[in-house]
Amino acid sequence: MTNSWHERFSTEEYVYGKEPNEFLVSAVQELPKGKVLCIAEGEGRNAVYLASLGFDVTSWDFAQAGLDKTKQLADEKGVVVTTELRDLAEVTWEEGQWDAIIHIFGHFPRNVLDRTLVGIKKALKPGGFYISELYTKEQLRYGTGGPRNEEMLCDPINLLKQFNGYFVKHFHIGEVNRVEGQLHTGTAHVVQSVFQKREED
């Protein structure tokens, strides 16, 4: 089976740029340092940024070319990121492994997304954080990045249902301006989330 993401990342250019996502930069400022997982992390811009802040970062992606570029960027910035080739449609989630899980513009079919969110809830430690910025279905009107298939775009109500019972530190739906390499540029429609798993009683 061809892996279109591997092909997309098999260039010298970082197609989403080397700078971290703006929302992530603001969202992690108050997070205690700990073990962080970045899923569908692509070429590593967010993982490398988090490593530069002192987090212990692991990056998962389905494209080996993306993981190779993550290592290259980490070397360039003088930090360490653990990279692992993972298919979210099949990955096994271990319980209570992560202080935070980062999910920036990782878009999947609804069944894979729901499976992933269930896994994330299992894998977060008590008190841990899920941080995401995802394109909503409204993004089809903008054409400034993301899948052109509505099923692959995020329904904010689904996110709220999935994380029912979590403490909502931040939840926002609306327009943002993003300049992230050649593939995310311009005004976009997103949902931003910071959900915290409640401490066990």
Tell me the per-residue pLDDT of 92-140, one tens digit each, with 9 for 90 and over.
Answer: 999 999 999 999 999 999 999 999 999 999 999 999 999 999 999 999 9
Average pLDDT over residues 20-29: 96
List, for residues 147-156, the tens digit of each pLDDT value: 999 999 999 9
Residue 113 CB partners (closer than 8 Å, separation 6+): 107, 154, 158
How is 2-38 classified by DSSP, letter by letter?
--HHHHHH-SSS-TT-SSPPHHHHHHTTTPPS-EEEE
The CATH class, in words, for 4-196 is alpha beta
Please give the order of strands across the beta sheet that includes 167-180. Answer: 82-85, 56-61, 35-38, 98-104, 124-135, 184-196, 167-180
Average pLDDT over residues 43-54: 97
Mean pLDDT of the chain: 93
List, for residues 177-188, the tens digit of each pLDDT value: 998 877 788 999
Assess whether pLDDT exceeds 80 at residue 158. Answer: yes
**Domain boundaries in the chain?**
4-196
Q: Say if CB 197 and CB 128 are below 8 A apart.
A: yes
